[in-house]
Structure 1
């Protein structure tokens, strides 16, 4: 299924206030952006971790953040500076409801900031899915997507969709183009599993992006195009050998991996465990081992975590199939 960007203007959407809810709690999933060889154009959602938003309508108009949990005080409570509330405000403005609707937001972060797992996108998607649910779902997921992308622009200065697209749509997504935004859901082979390890080291997204070369060798570009095409073909045919051969990054990972301690050792351990491929999740420092079935992925992340422990580096691990659903409502009234 393909989703294209839409230009939402005030007054275009029919609103039925009789369908509005009092409160809603929403979960949105973490994501693995780039899918190793698809910088800024590929990504997939996982079952866990993820973030939650509890949203409640209030009598007075306006958007406020009542509390944030799990961020160690790092995120702003100012509704104009927090991506969740800022995007909700944009959503209400586009629907002409800024002077009519008021909501308070509680953000519960179950995933670490700066993990390379789409922390900001999970929060933004949860917030936008929550406000849309609260108001009776006047917009489709495709119509919510431009607000999600703008949230990424606010969070890291670059409006890329490789995290927010799978977080909102679920599954594996391909961003065919950005002008206009054109998003395609790709098939998900039944046994595709991700083993993720998040080392406790700091690799800021902005710093990781600054390392990326503006120009690349033509031979490397050709290799990368072939890998992306091969991966997409492998997903359509559930050809795990083709998926394995194709998931190699010759453009971005060789530079970014320098920022991640023990990266090459972790790669070797993962491949020895029998996974299909291994690489960086997003901008890192999280790494992902993609496998056919859970056994190899679990073996890989156990070995990686044991090695990191020996090096004095704490880490978290996650094991998940590809999340096909995206955000979900946990409760509402």
Structure 2
């Protein structure tokens, strides 16, 4: 039986970013150095396949530090943690490794610098997301006001409207965030912004690649986890760019083939915590069903690398 033709547009960059790559290496190197089990507070990155793979190697994932024994190493996830968490680990004389993405740490440092200068912070982010919780937890209670939408800007009540700065979660929609920033600047003209954009290079690049393919495709599939902020933003960016069928899938088994009937072109991208093996699995699934033409649409080349902490680079 002849397979129908289909063009698969592969967005690039897609998949793992430097911060995710570093976080996964940290867990693997910690297991190699100290043996299993190694505890990880929260999912190291938001991807079930990655977490299950590390669990098979000897990682134990917990939500809170009090679930960890004193005598085993614990790793803090790439999303960052409130200051109270490493303080509690130190008080218990625990061995701990911080896998916070350096670009998230940059936002933490920024918040502390503004706080030291007497400014109250406004954080643009998603309530309850581990990165938002971790960043807000760098400063004392009440020093960070959270806004999620343009509408929220009208309702915040800062201590002194002339002494404000803003920071953002690193995985937000570039376009949505710029609208919120504009609203903040309109209401608080003296508000201080970051020296350099807080939304990370990987989030920005993946969203730009989706915009580049959106006009050429009948459907967009984003490979990523349902709790992955940057993956969910890619789905939204695809829809906003004109792709009516824009769906998040965790892997090939989640593809709704009936929804793709009649499609001549499909775009594929992946969030920053989705491994290449899952991307290839999706490509192979299309190859099985269609006479496939593949086209890579590359909008940026990434060469960023982050070192793992010194404690893991030292010999056991």
More strand by share: 1
Q: TM-score, normalization: structure 1?
A: 0.24
Structure whose alpha-carbon radius of gyration is higher: 2
Q: TM-score, normalization: structure 2?
A: 0.25
